[in-house]
Amino acid sequence: MSPYKIKIDSSNLSASILFTVGMVFSLLTYLIILLVGMPQQMGLSVRYGLFPVIFAIILFYPVFRLSGWIGTFTSLSLTLILFALPLSGLWTSGTTEYFVIGGLLPWSDASNYYHDARLLLEGNTFSLWGSNQRPLFSGVLAVFLGLTQQNLQIALAIIVLITAISGFLLVREIQRSHGTMAGLIVLIILFLFYRPYIGLTTTENLGLALGAIGLAVVWQGTGQKHINTILLGIFLLTLALNARAGAFFVLPMLILWGSLVFRGQSRISRHFLVGGIMAVIMGFLSNLIVLKIAGHPDGVPNSNFSYTLYGLAVGGKGWQQIYTDHPGVSEASEIYRLAFEVIHTNPSYFITGLLQAFHAYLNPLYGAFGFIGGSHIQGVDLLVRFGVYVLSFWGLLRCYCQWQDSYNSLVFTATLGILLSVPFLADGGVRVYAATIPFSSVLVVLGVVPIITSVTNLIKKAGILIFLPPSQKILKFPLVFGIALASLTILGPILTKIISKPPQFVQSACSTGQETRYVRITPGSSITVISDPFEPAYNLTWLPSMYLIDFKASLRSGPSDLVQELDREITANLSQFTSITIMNLIDLEKRSIWERYIWLIANSRVMPQEPGIVKLCGHFIKSLKYGFFYADSIQKVSE
């Protein structure tokens, strides 16, 4: 018999088994919602409605107050269901929105990020446009596309899953410190903000995911008085603001906050000051490294800020004003020079721009909480937003008056950082607050704390659990998840660039009079529009297939010029064929970046059954603005 004995901790083994079973159950629940699908109207009501979401959150309350593994994973499952429903609604309806066509195909900025991800996978760098914008999201999208044979639907499902988990972990931290109802209020605000971007290839996905998990880590470190944990959270928030540019002044304000709160007997905490500065520098440096390795050689991160500053300098006329005043100017340095020149010569214009920015941010119609709506009753939506504003102002006042509480001082300081950033974000809409909307949601909670406290005291007397008890195992989740997400964001694009090689295929010309294009056909990345059935039916659409009647209906909410062209072209082609396939592709040959973007329209019968590189023979529809390519024949040339 061996003298060495292996001792197995049965409690740790049981916990590991419970964790595995619980996580598998939660993920299966999410997967089933997307694979089996829910009734179309249910998904759409959660995507666009207000009362169904509020009702769902109320139903969550009994489950979220459960503790232990059962409480954690049942709560996680409900959260994943909530976030899956809008995606299911999008896919079962084929709805067209500004950034998506037919519920799937990216459009406008979303299309550019999608193209950049595919360029990286084909051994190229990001485009100059993407490098000058925000390359981190395109890099993460490239990772998920690369892992799924460039299946857009699966990649989108993974992105939504990650954002949902990030939000859930923040909710649990708030619940642990301020109670179940407080956590659920944060959940509903985060969800209402995020749902318009569910299913879209836009940077708000990664910005919110990193922002939520970043605040969760900061919140946990604040409660534990653990400086290094907070510094990790600040690093995550820096990545969030690089993924989706927004309220950057939050970062120096957080450093100032920590330097004062953790100063002890000193004037400031040098540990926090130096560590905070290093965390922010590392965040920006990480973004720069990704850009230098995977980005365009001439790319400058966040260079579009010069356009915003000029619009602010001339009186808040918007970032596009530079095109009107100086049509030939495109260099960021020159735009900055013009902006500072206007500020110096006409400072009143700049002040006007500042005032307009704050007016827009504080306007209940479309301001900071303009995303809250969906009741289909204008007065109700406005009343709810106004109430949220009132709670926010009250929360800010309470945070100031109760500065000695670390949580209150944290939220107060971060809110000041957001307010300082408002003038530079005026024409970006609520999208620009994706990384910091978690702070705004917590501010609302702190405004309603007196009400929650009163109710909580009553319920606690009845012996019902409200606050989650601390658990060291559960407390590790935000740290582990945050580090994993940061690693994915930084290392994922770099490794993808290193291992991706330019595609190899044999080229040959098409018949005389036809143009030749080489593209990669991938699963889960197309829409097939089918001629309408002879008899009416319900639930006709299930992506990737849509009946023409549904496709036409979905176009009503899309960009007007694109709607007219798609409607005309698809209708004309369906008079010849029973089904038409539409794809958003990139040309694999070396061309100027804008010439590489292709909207393919083809008879579904000529589409290959297996993914791979194909040769398109056909012609561009010259009369159309968007470069639709009609393929007469499609031949596979490589895997």
Task: For 165-188, write each residue's pLDDT tens digit.
Answer: 999 999 999 998 888 889 999 999
* Cα 597 → chain centroid: 23
Count CB-CB contacts under 10 A for residue 212.
33
Q: Which residues pair with 635 in a beta bridge?
A: 615
Same domain, 493 and 567: no
In the chain the first and final C-alpha atoms are separated, in Å, by 56
Is 196 contained in some domain?
Answer: yes
Query: Are 589 and 459 in the same domain?
Result: no
pLDDT of residue 539: 54
Q: Looking at the 3D structure of the chain, how many domains does it have?
A: 2
Show the domain range for 241.
Answer: 25-300+358-497
Confidence of residue 1 (pLDDT cuts 50, 70, 90): very low
Averaged pLDDT, 213-224: 96
Do the bridges between strand 526-530 and strand 515-521 make them parallel or antiparallel, or are there none, so unpaired? unpaired
| 328 part of a folded domain | no
Last residue of a domain, which of 497, 530, 565? 497
Name the domain boundary from 497, 524, 550: 497
160 and 99 in a single domain? The answer is yes
Tell me what pLDDT residue 449 has.
80
Residue 4 has pLDDT above 50, yes or no: no
Higher per-residue pLDDT: 130 or 619? 619
Selected residue with higher pLDDT from 5 and 510? 510
Phi, psi for 524 (deg, rounded to 5): 65, 25
Is 318 within the bounds of a domain?
Answer: no
Based on the domain organization, do 573 and 490 belong to the same domain?
no
Pair 206, 271 in one domain: yes
What's the pTM value of the predicted model, to 2 decimals?
0.92
Q: What percent of the chain has pLDDT over 90?
A: 53
- Residues 265-299: b if buried by 16+ CB within 10 A, e if exposed: eeeebebbbebbbebbebbbebbbebbebbbbeeb
- Report for 255-269, 527-541, 616-630: range of highest mean pLDDT: 255-269
Is residue 7 within 8 Å of residue 50, measured between CB atoms? no
User: In this structure, are 541 and 603 located in the same domain?
Assistant: yes
Clarify whether residues 37 and 83 are in a common domain.
yes
**Above 50 in pLDDT, residue 472?**
no
In this structure, is residue 327 part of a structural domain?
no
Q: Is residue 11 part of a domain?
A: no
Q: Average per-residue pLDDT in the chain?
A: 87
Question: Looking at 470, 497, 524, which one is the last position of a domain?
Answer: 497
Q: Which residue has the higher pLDDT, 474 or 404?
A: 404
Do residues 295 and 399 both lie within one domain?
yes
In this predicted structure, what is the pLDDT of residue 2?
A: 47
Residues 56-102 pLDDT 10s: 988 999 999 887 788 888 999 999 999 999 999 999 988 889 899 99
Residue 3, C-beta contacts closer than 8 angstroms, at least 6 positions apart: none
Asked if residue 140 is part of any domain, the answer here is yes
Judge if 439 and 527 occupy the same domain. no
In a domain, 311, yes or no: no
**Structure-token pair, residue 139:** 């890099």
Does residue 543 sit in the same domain as residue 400? no
Within a domain: 218: yes
Domain match, 289 and 172 both: yes
Give the model's confidence band at 372: pLDDT under 50 very low, under 70 low, under 90 confident, else very high: very high
Please, are residues 17 and 69 in contact by the beta-carbon 8 Å criterion?
no
The answer to whether residues 632 and 538 belong to one domain is yes
pLDDT at res. 465: 41
Contact call for residues 541 and 94 (beta carbons, < 8 A):
yes
